[in-house]
Protein backbone atom coordinates (compact mmCIF):
# COMPACT_ATOMS: atom_id res chain seq x y z
CA UNK A 1 0.00 0.00 0.00
CA UNK A 2 2.77 2.41 0.88
CA UNK A 3 4.46 1.82 -2.48
CA UNK A 4 1.16 2.39 -4.27
CA UNK A 5 0.65 5.67 -2.43
CA UNK A 6 4.21 6.81 -3.14
CA UNK A 7 3.71 6.23 -6.86
CA UNK A 8 0.34 7.92 -6.76
CA UNK A 9 1.65 10.91 -4.84
CA UNK A 10 4.64 11.50 -7.05
CA UNK A 11 6.65 14.47 -5.92
CA UNK A 12 5.33 17.39 -3.98
CA UNK A 13 2.41 15.59 -2.29
CA UNK A 14 2.16 13.91 1.05
CA UNK A 15 0.74 10.42 1.51
CA UNK A 16 -2.36 11.96 3.07
CA UNK A 17 -2.87 14.33 0.15
CA UNK A 18 -2.52 11.47 -2.35
CA UNK A 19 -5.00 9.33 -0.42
CA UNK A 20 -7.48 12.19 -0.19
CA UNK A 21 -7.23 12.88 -3.93
CA UNK A 22 -7.62 9.18 -4.77
CA UNK A 23 -10.90 8.90 -2.88
CA UNK A 24 -12.16 12.24 -4.13
CA UNK A 25 -11.40 11.45 -7.78
CA UNK A 26 -11.41 7.64 -8.17
CA UNK A 27 -13.58 6.31 -5.33
CA UNK A 28 -16.14 9.00 -4.46
CA UNK A 29 -18.69 6.34 -3.49
CA UNK A 30 -16.48 4.92 -0.74
CA UNK A 31 -18.24 5.18 2.60
CA UNK A 32 -15.02 5.22 4.62
CA UNK A 33 -13.14 7.65 2.33
CA UNK A 34 -9.75 6.22 3.35
CA UNK A 35 -7.74 3.05 2.92
CA UNK A 36 -8.38 0.47 5.60
CA UNK A 37 -5.51 -0.45 7.87
CA UNK A 38 -3.70 -3.74 8.37
CA UNK A 39 -5.17 -3.85 11.88
CA UNK A 40 -8.69 -3.56 10.46
CA UNK A 41 -8.05 -6.50 8.11
CA UNK A 42 -6.56 -8.49 11.00
CA UNK A 43 -9.58 -7.71 13.19
CA UNK A 44 -11.92 -8.95 10.47
CA UNK A 45 -9.92 -12.16 10.09
CA UNK A 46 -9.82 -12.66 13.88
CA UNK A 47 -13.58 -12.22 14.05
CA UNK A 48 -14.17 -14.74 11.27
CA UNK A 49 -12.15 -17.45 13.01
CA UNK A 50 -13.66 -16.75 16.43
CA UNK A 51 -16.75 -18.26 18.04
CA UNK A 52 -18.44 -14.87 17.58
CA UNK A 53 -18.75 -15.62 13.85
CA UNK A 54 -20.68 -18.86 14.36
CA UNK A 55 -23.78 -17.44 12.68
CA UNK A 56 -21.76 -15.96 9.82
CA UNK A 57 -20.97 -19.28 8.14
CA UNK A 58 -21.30 -19.26 4.37
CA UNK A 59 -21.40 -15.48 4.14
CA UNK A 60 -19.15 -13.40 1.98
CA UNK A 61 -17.52 -10.84 4.25
CA UNK A 62 -15.84 -7.90 2.60
CA UNK A 63 -13.34 -5.61 4.29
CA UNK A 64 -13.20 -2.89 1.66
CA UNK A 65 -14.24 0.24 3.48
CA UNK A 66 -17.78 0.20 2.16
CA UNK A 67 -17.48 0.81 -1.57
CA UNK A 68 -20.86 1.44 -3.15
CA UNK A 69 -20.97 1.15 -6.94
CA UNK A 70 -24.73 1.58 -7.15
CA UNK A 71 -27.80 1.79 -4.96
Contact yes or no for 41/62 (Cβ under 8 A): no
Least confident of 17-21, 30-34, 62-66: 62-66
pLDDT score of 51: 95
Cα distances (angstroms) measured from residue 46 to each of 20, 28, 39, 40, 68: 29, 29, 10, 10, 25
Comparing 54 with 9, which gets the higher pLDDT?
A: 54
Q: What is the pLDDT of residues 35-70, one digit of tens each?
A: 888 899 999 999 999 999 998 877 788 887 777 666
pLDDT score of 69: 66
What pTM, to 2 d.p., does this model score? Answer: 0.68
Amino acid sequence: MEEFLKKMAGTGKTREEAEHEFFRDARPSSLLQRFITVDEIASTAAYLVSPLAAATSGASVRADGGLLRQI
